[in-house]
Amino acid sequence: MEFIELTEAYMSQENKKSMLPKIKDLCREYGVKGSLSVRHHSSVVFTIREGKVDFMGDYTSDRTEPRHQEAVEQEVKSGHIQVNPYWFQKHFVGESLEFLGKAFDILNQGNWDKSDIQTDYFNVGWYVSVNIGEWDKPYKYTGVAK
């Protein structure tokens, strides 16, 4: 019989603080303002509030069904996107994709994912959430980056 070591996802304030200088540098490089927080001691949350990166213009869908296109259009209209950490490469292009790739690299440094979705077993160091805008405050695009 094989035993599986069970661990819970955990994100500490200290771990968040260690990410903060790199996230600040990235935001400065791209002319973006955002914040980093910890949710439920299990997730790091990066909220991008405004900046010179046109996330809404670079948001796309590789899905051809009309209902998916309508969902993308609704998110763009609302100014709030919850970025899918597993599919963002297919949902963004250009400078937005470049920025998000670097952000996810920073937010996942030291993280692991030994999950097995086939057996409904999830084992990660911590969860990562990236939001562009907020449900009640849309992302504010301020101009051309770099």
Per-residue pLDDT tens for 92-120?
A: 999 999 999 999 999 999 998 887 777 76
Rounded to an integer, the average pLDDT of 4-22 is 85
Least confident of 9-23, 57-71, 73-87: 57-71
Strands (E), the chain: 32-39, 43-51, 81-83, 127-132, 140-141
The answer to whether 33 and 117 are in contact (CB under 8 A) is no
pTM score of the predicted model: 0.86
pLDDT at 8: 78
The answer to whether 106 and 26 are in contact (CB under 8 A) is yes
Residue 21 reports pLDDT greater than 80: yes
- Residue 33, CB half-sphere, CA atoms under 13 Å: how many? 10
Q: Which residues contact 114 (CB under 8 A, 6 or more apart)?
A: 123, 124
Please indicate whether residue 119 or residue 142 has the higher confidence score (pLDDT): 142
Q: Which of 141, 142, 113 is nearest to 126 (CA)?
A: 113
Rounded to an integer, the average pLDDT of 34-63 is 91
Phi, psi dihedral angles at 31 (to 5 degrees): 70, 45
